[in-house]
Amino acid sequence: MSETASTRALQGRHHRPSVTTAPGLLPSLDPLLREWVPRQRWFAGKGRPVTGFDLVAAAELLPVDGTVDGAAAPGLLHLLVRARQPGSQVRAPEDDDCYQLLLGVHGTLPPRLAHALIGRPDGGPLAGRTVYDALLDPRLCTLLLERLRVPGQLGALRFTVEPETSLASGLTARPLTTEQSNTSVVFGDAYILKVFRRASPGLNPDLELPLALARAKCSRVPPPVAWFESDAAGPVTAAEGPRHHAAEPITLGVLTPFLDGAADGWQLALNALSVRADFTGSARALGHATAEVHTALAEALPTTELRRTHLELIAAGMAERLDAAARAVPALRPYRTRLRTAFHALTTLGRDGRTFAAQRIHGDLHLGQTLRSAGEGRWSVIDFEGEPARPLAERRDVQPAVRDVAAMLRSFDYAARSGPGGGDAWSLEWARRARTAFCRGYAEAGGLDPDSVPELMRAYETDKAVYEVLYEARHRPDWLPIPMAAVRRLAGPDPRLGTDPELTTDPHVGAGPDPYAEADPEEGDSSFTTYAPPEDRT
Ligand SMILES: Nc1ncnc2c1ncn2[C@@H]1O[C@H](COP(=O)(O)OP(=O)(O)O)[C@@H](O)[C@H]1O
Ligand SMILES: O=P(O)(O)O[C@H]1O[C@H](CO)[C@@H](O[C@H]2O[C@H](CO)[C@@H](O)[C@H](O)[C@H]2O)[C@H](O)[C@H]1O
């Protein structure tokens, strides 16, 4: 759409009461949303019925009865709704979540948007019209970008542009169709807008950390150029933390430069596995990039020293998550006692007087959160939101940086087990070498050598594997065997059953060679096809 047409569409607002204040709006949408929301990939409360929605905030971004050049034009509604999910036996952090919805409203839906259909309300102010997911409609996405280009306020919505930034206009929108926890739209290969689906009061780390990194001149993370927030103080659940968060704005979406042609680390790893190619050069460069990000975060944002009480609390949190996961996933139960030894080890360290540095970290680092640029082959890190299921306050807390390292090590294991080799001996050795190379790169670039903190690494890798078990059980049950294999490995041998063969290469249980002490990953290994990724030049 041209700039003039999109500007006209934004200005085509009629002076009449907004449909968002009509009392029947949410009741009329309720049955449609109850059917549609739980089917969405981003819906966090899977497995528990939704009995209704409460309206937290609503805004009419484009009038529902607007016209452009005399023709009816789709309306655009912005809603924050809280999903009621009562009667759950286990209270998970995401209970009664608030979701951000962008709804297109039109007379009829063109066939190209059939996949975006939500439904046709029977009554209320939208009776007889078609309501659909606006983020799947390129035309409405382009208009959303126009709104984002202009700093200002619309009701509770606030739009901000980073100072001294001029945003291109009239760019064609391309909604992303990849599997993700939120919804992203690419604009003309210049920007990508990430629209957060779960709306938690408080600054989202996916805005906070990239902004801090950009201001600290760290070039490993695409810098936010514009964002939008809501000042609506909706109902707050215990899961979201202390009440004072209700007064904080809710981060709703962030626009960053799009790294055109970049390939994500997950795909690159699977490609390497499919041709039986070594990945150590890439993994090592990724370790460098991760250490650079950690160093910049430690310089830009508060840090602390974790002592006995902190370590006890961390270990207790890990044990609680293990118990909650074991309640939800019975397959985890036989390993519970042995997994806990990793957490006890942390407590013991604290009691022995050991301390560890803590800082802001990525919080959910895995290969899919890394992008390698097309030309230089330079790694960038994205998606600083943290683990989506954790409360925001916890995701914004300082933590040992090696938690990210442990999470990335899990990702190499995931790639080896889900890739073409399906976890055969060659693939597992590929993962072991990639893990070693990543740790080496991380230490070389100034990160804490993971080999120097084996107890911390084991505890965080265990905690991550437990998180993954729950994540897969909820979202991708077919993938459950992958973290369960790690659980078996990390639990160590069952004294009643003897040694698990996989333990011979485990880094943390002391049963096999220490991969962090491995020879130079760049040294050839005849069992590997040589793989030469473009050099990371920084
Ligand atoms: N700046 C960017 N440039 C290019 N692609 C990006 C960029 N940011 C995100 N992506 C792509 O969008 C996908 C989803 O982004 P991500 O932030 O991980 O969303 P989510 O948290 O919803 O999973 C990523 O896997 C990546 O392929
Ligand atoms: O990328 P998200 O922020 O949505 O993270 C969630 O989904 C991830 C999967 O898409 C999940 O990651 C797990 O699977 C990955 C392979 O798909 C693997 O590389 C990771 O190591 C593994 O943890 C992530 O845990 C979850 O929070």
The first and second tokens of residue 189, run together, are 């290969």
Query: Containing H/E element for 264?
Result: strand 263-264
Give the confidence band of 309 by pLDDT, cuts at 50, 70, 90: very high
In degrees and rounded to multiples of 5, residue 354 shows phi and psi of -75, 145
Query: Containing H/E element for 283?
Result: helix 280-300
Which ligand sits closest to the CA of 382? 1
Stretch 299-320: mean pLDDT = 98
Taking the CA of residue 182 as reference, the ligand 2 atom at the shortest distance is 4
Could you tell me the residue ranges of all domains in the chain?
Answer: 3-257, 263-517
- What is the Cα gyration radius of the chain? 24
Any long-range contacts for 345-349 (C-beta under 8 Å, 24+ apart)? 345/455, 345/458, 345/459, 346/311, 346/314, 346/315, 346/318, 346/455, 346/456, 346/459, 347/311, 347/312, 347/315, 349/311, 349/455, 349/456
Which one of 195, 198, 264, 366 would you pick to mutate in the ligand 2 pocket, going by the greatest count of ligand atoms within 8 A of its CB? Answer: 366
Which one of 42, 180, 182, 369 would you pick to mutate in the ligand 1 pocket, going by the greatest count of ligand atoms within 8 A of its CB? Answer: 180
DSSP string, 425-457: HHHHHHHHHHHHHHHHHHHHTTS--GGG-HHHH
Closest residue by Cα to residue 342 from 240, 466, 170, 175: 466
Atom 25 in ligand 2: which residue has the minimum CA distance? 468
What predicted TM-score, i.e. pTM, was given to this entire model?
A: 0.86
Q: What residue spans of 419-531 are helical by DSSP H?
A: 425-444, 454-475, 481-491
Atom 2 in ligand 2: which residue has the minimum CA distance? 181
Residue type, 401: A
pLDDT at residue number 178: 83
pLDDT tens for 185-242 read 999 999 999 999 999 889 999 999 999 999 999 999 999 999 999 998 654 444 444 4
Atom 16 in ligand 1: which residue has the minimum CA distance? 383
**Which residues form the pocket of ligand 1, taking CB atoms under 6 Å from any ligand atom?**
176, 178, 180-182, 184, 192, 194, 222, 256, 258-259, 262, 264, 368-369, 371, 382-383, 385
Atom 27 in ligand 1: which residue has the minimum CA distance? 264
Q: What is the 474 CA–ligand 2 centroid distance (Å)? A: 12
pLDDT at residue number 497: 62
Q: How far apart are CA 63 and CA 105, in angstroms?
A: 9
Q: How far apart are CA 61 and CA 161, in angstroms?
A: 18
Which ligand sits closest to the CA of 387? 2
Q: How far apart are CA 386 and CA 361, in angstroms?
A: 9
Please answer whether residues 83 and 234 qualify as being in contact, where contact means their C-beta atoms are separated by less than 8 angstroms. Answer: no
Q: What is the 312 CA–ligand 2 centroid distance (Å)? A: 27
Q: What is the 110 CA–ligand 2 centroid distance (Å)? A: 34
Atom 27 in ligand 2: which residue has the minimum CA distance? 387
Give the confidence band of 15 by pLDDT, cuts at 50, 70, 90: low
**Which residues form the pocket of ligand 2, taking CB atoms under 6 Å from any ligand atom?**
180-181, 266, 364, 366-368, 383, 387-388, 410-411, 414, 468, 471
In degrees and rounded to multiples of 5, residue 307 shows phi and psi of -115, -170
Taking the CA of residue 260 as reference, the ligand 1 atom at the shortest distance is 4
Q: What is the 370 CA–ligand 1 centroid distance (Å)? A: 9
Q: What is the 383 CA–ligand 1 centroid distance (Å)? A: 7
Task: Please determine, looking at this structure, whether the domain spanning 263-517 carries the CATH number 3.30.565.10.
Answer: no
Check residue 406 and report its DSSP letter: H
Q: How far apart are CA 200 and CA 230, in angstroms?
A: 10
Chain centre to alpha carbon of residue 504: 33
Q: What is the 6 CA–ligand 2 centroid distance (Å)? A: 37
Burial of 286 (0-12, 13-18, 19+ CB in 10 A): buried
Please answer whether residues 269 and 370 qualify as being in contact, where contact means their C-beta atoms are separated by less than 8 angstroms. Answer: no
Q: Which residues pair with 79 in a beta bridge?
A: 58, 101
Atom 17 in ligand 1: which residue has the minimum CA distance? 383
* Assembly ipTM: 0.98
Taking the CA of residue 222 as reference, the ligand 1 atom at the shortest distance is 1
Atom 22 in ligand 2: which residue has the minimum CA distance? 411
pLDDT tens for 84-142 read 988 654 444 445 689 999 999 999 999 999 999 999 999 999 999 999 999 999 999 99
Which ligand sits closest to the CA of 472? 2
Q: How far apart are CA 128 and CA 148, in angstroms?
A: 30
Q: How far apart are CA 258 and CA 454, in angstroms?
A: 37
Residue the block writes with tokens 């034009």 = 73
Taking the CA of residue 176 as reference, the ligand 1 atom at the shortest distance is 12
Q: Please list, residue by residue across 300-337, b when 16 or more beta carbons sit within 10 angstroms of its beta carbon and e when fewer do.
A: bbeeeebeeebbeebbeebbebbebbbebbeebeebbe
Residues 6+ apart with CB under 8 A from 231: 156, 157, 158, 249
Q: What is the 382 CA–ligand 1 centroid distance (Å)? A: 7
Which ligand sits closest to the CA of 183? 1
Taking the CA of residue 256 as reference, the ligand 1 atom at the shortest distance is 1
pLDDT tens for 348-395 read 999 999 999 999 999 999 999 999 999 899 999 999 999 887 888 899
Is the pLDDT at 500 greater than 50? The verdict is: no
Chain centre to alpha carbon of residue 109: 31
Q: What is the 366 CA–ligand 2 centroid distance (Å)? A: 6
pLDDT at residue number 255: 98
Which ligand sits closest to the CA of 362? 2
Which ligand sits closest to the CA of 363? 2
Residue the block writes with tokens 């979201």 = 240
Is the pLDDT at 532 greater than 50? The verdict is: no
